[in-house]
């Protein structure tokens, strides 16, 4: 989905911001008293997943813009 946005002309930075969760925000969520231990585990999984999605997106963008792919 995010790579499709890139191909349609959305800026790399705006897409990165959509995918990524800043570490400061994650720490704030993890300190929130209203979140129980199960929810915190879900937040940790979501955070790791988003970082993986960002890494995949970065690799797609890098490979798409490499000189070898230009025709």
Kindly report the number of other CB atoms within 10 A of residue 20's CB atom: 15
Supply the angle between the helices 12-19 and 37-64 in degrees, to the nearest 10. Answer: 160
pLDDT digits (tens, 9 = 90+) for 23-33: 999 999 999 99
Whole-structure pTM value: 0.74
pLDDT digits (tens, 9 = 90+) for 31-49: 999 999 999 999 999 999 9
Print burial letters for 37-56: b (CB count within 10 Å at least 16), e (below 16): eeeeeebeeebeeeeeebee
CA distance linking residue 13 with residue 17, whole number of Å = 6
* Tokens (6 digits) for 32: 């929130």
């Amino acid at each position: 989905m995010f790579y499709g946005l890139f191909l349609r002309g959305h800026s790399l930075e705006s897409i990165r911001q959509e995918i990524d969760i800043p570490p400061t925000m994650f720490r704030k969520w993890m300190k929130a008293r209203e979140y129980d231990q199960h929810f915190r585990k879900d937040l940790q999984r979501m955070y790791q997943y988003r970082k993986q999605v960002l890494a995949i997106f970065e690799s797609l963008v890098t490979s798409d813009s490499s000189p070898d792919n230009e025709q």
